[in-house]
Amino acid sequence: MDNKTSFQAVIMAAGKGTRLKSEQPKVLHEVLGKPMVAYAVDAALEAGAERVVVVLGYGREQVQSWLEEHRDSERIEFAVQENQLGTAHAVYAARDYFDAAPEYTAILSGDVPNMNAEALGDFVTKTANSMYPLGMMTAKLDDPAHYGRVLRNPDGEVTGVIEYKDATEKQRQVDEINAGFYAVETEFLARYLPEICEGPADNAQGEYYLTDLIAVAANHAGVHGWIIDDIGLIQGVNTRRDLAEATRFAQKRINQKWMDEGVTFIDPDATYIEPDVQLGTDVTLYPGVHLKGQTRIGSGTVVENGSVITDCQLAANVHVKANCYLTLARVDSGTALGPFAHLRPGSDIGKDCKVGNFVEVKKSKFEDGVKAGHLSYLGDAHLGKGTNVGAGTITCNYDGKKKHRTEVGEGSFIGSNTAIVAPAKLGKKAYIGAGSVITDEVPDESLAIARGRQKNFDGWVRKKEEEEG
């Protein structure tokens, strides 16, 4: 997103999140498969921040490690808040980035996952256009409960923020709250924040708050108070209930977007889609479907109840029947999967194939038209075009130390209950008799039978019954 105002972002991500009752750092708790801090970082980068400073504290090694591994951006920097002494103190920890910095500094929290780049960029731009040194995002709530109230004078100018516990009854009637997002002239921040944080804290908690900076700005050049209408964008996460609510909000937005793009949801409230998933038109999703990671699904594909698809590429007109589990797999057009099919990483399924009920595929290539209808394990294999795999077929790919490949030529027929001991090669149009254990190469157009010969004992049951009396 282009944003004409020069700005950097400071993301407060130092808190432990005591009320989450977790050993994991608060900002690494996930919303739709993505840590909350990643949403804040992505929003700032997409809004055009020239630099993003993440202020770390509790679990800082874990948070920094995740961001360094998953966000390859030279614009991300880190600062450390050794002791968590309030929001102003958190921003003060990033003071080394106030010199030779962009004109404005946006301040946001790493535990507010639904703020987006468009709203953040608009907020910074409107603050810059207001000619005030500080802008704060506010919201009006029907029930503001115990949030801090925004105070304005008769002219509508922000004069300060007062915490609920310190407010008078009249002030508690105010329905406008502090949303916790700020845009500040960096020069103003560098000048006045040290005055707040380097002296004694003026409260019982001994902490330093950004609301003190609002009071300073109000007493100088004024404060731009920007009321945001979309309350879900500013919802913070402090408890597991908050986390669930933030997830519901994010999921609703994603599903609504895809419905607007031509995707059918049988029950959108029961369909889980992560933010990086891409869907074509006329895709149909049934309840209980989970689409995760970098999954891409082509137009006309149907995914039935209970299927979980992670980091997969599905072409157009694929039919995923109920309760399939697919991970890091590729499926070409016209193919049917399931019910209860399992595609493990490295599965590459061609056009017009069938991977039926209780068939597991791992690191295998199916050429076009391969059929494996029932109850089979096919691992480390290459199956040629048009091959038919009978029920109960197993590629025995592991010798206790190494994995080995199985090659099956096009047009082959593998009878039910066949075990193919790898490394193995079956030629073109090879036929394998049911119940065989294949240990040697099978030439093209050959029939291989590798099982004990049947022997019938006439009258055996009658004789047994007579002996038993």
- The annotation places the binding site for acetyl-CoA at 391, 397-398, 416, 434, 451
Q: Are 136 and 224 in contact (CB under 8 A)?
A: yes
Catalytic residue among 89, 146, 290, 374: 374
Q: Name the nearest CA neighbour of 55 among 67, 43, 46.
A: 67
- Bridge partner residues of 336 (DSSP): 319, 354
- Classify burial at 460, counting beta carbons within 10 Å of its beta carbon; exposed 0-12, middle 13-18, buried 19 or more: exposed
**For the chain, the helix, strand and coil percentages under 3-state DSSP, each to the nearest 5:** 25, 30, 45
Q: Which parts are annotated binding residues?
A: 26, 81, 86-87, 109-111, 148, 163, 178, 238, 344, 362, 377, 388, 391, 397-398, 416, 434, 451
Residues in the chain: 469
At 276, list the tokens: 């990086």
426 pairs with which residues across the strands? Answer: 408, 442
Alpha carbons 76 and 92: distance in angstroms, whole number: 17
- DSSP-assigned beta bridge partners for residue 76: 52
Residue by residue, DSSP assigns 336-368 as EE-SS-EE-TT-EE-TT-EEEEEEEEES-EE-T
Question: What does the block give as tokens for 317?
Answer: 């007109």
Q: What are phi and psi of 310, to 5 degrees?
A: -125, 125
H, E, C per residue of 99-140: CCCCCEEEEEECCCCCCCHHHHHHHHHHHHHHCCCEEEEEEE
Detail the residues annotated as belonging to a binding site for UDP-N-acetyl-alpha-D-glucosamine: 26, 81, 86-87, 109-111, 148, 163, 178, 238, 344, 362, 377, 388
374 catalytically annotated: yes
Beta-carbon contacts of 192 under 8 Å, excluding residues fewer than 6 positions away, are: 213, 216, 217
Feature table: binding site for Mg(2+): 111, 238
Q: Which residues are catalytic?
A: 374
